[in-house]
């Protein structure tokens, strides 16, 4: 019987960062108001490009965390919490 296990994870944050100060300029709000309700201090936006621009660096980080090369991976599962049954 074949078994699978999650042995590492990876993530990537796009370089375009928008702190709450940006939204203070665009909306009638303050950094303190946003933080007190959401806990968010800044957001990373993926401007332009495609999904692979996010996935490839995340996958590389995952492989590095596990200490293996991409050729050692048999398959990749993508989890989508919003997928319909």
- Integer Cα distance of 55 and 43 in angstroms: 18
Dihedral (CA of 79, 17, 15, 68) sign:
negative
pLDDT, one tens digit per residue, over 46-67 is 988 888 899 899 999 999 999 9
Q: Is the pLDDT of residue 33 over 90?
A: yes
What mean pLDDT comes out for the span 4-26? 90
- Integer Cα distance of 51 and 42 in angstroms: 21
State residue 84's pLDDT score: 64
Pair 7, 66: CB distance under 8 Å: yes
State residue 83's pLDDT score: 65
């Amino acid at each position: 019987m074949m078994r699978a296990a999650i042995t590492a994870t990876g993530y990537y944050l796009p370089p375009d960062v928008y702190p709450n100060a940006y939204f203070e300029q665009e909306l009638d709000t303050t950094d303190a108001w946003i933080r007190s309700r959401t806990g968010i201090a800044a957001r990373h936006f993926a401007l332009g490009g495609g999904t692979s621009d996010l996935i490839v660096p995340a996958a590389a980080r995952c492989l590095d965390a596990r200490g293996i090369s991409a050729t050692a991976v048999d398959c990749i599962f993508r989890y989508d919490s919003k997928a319909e049954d």
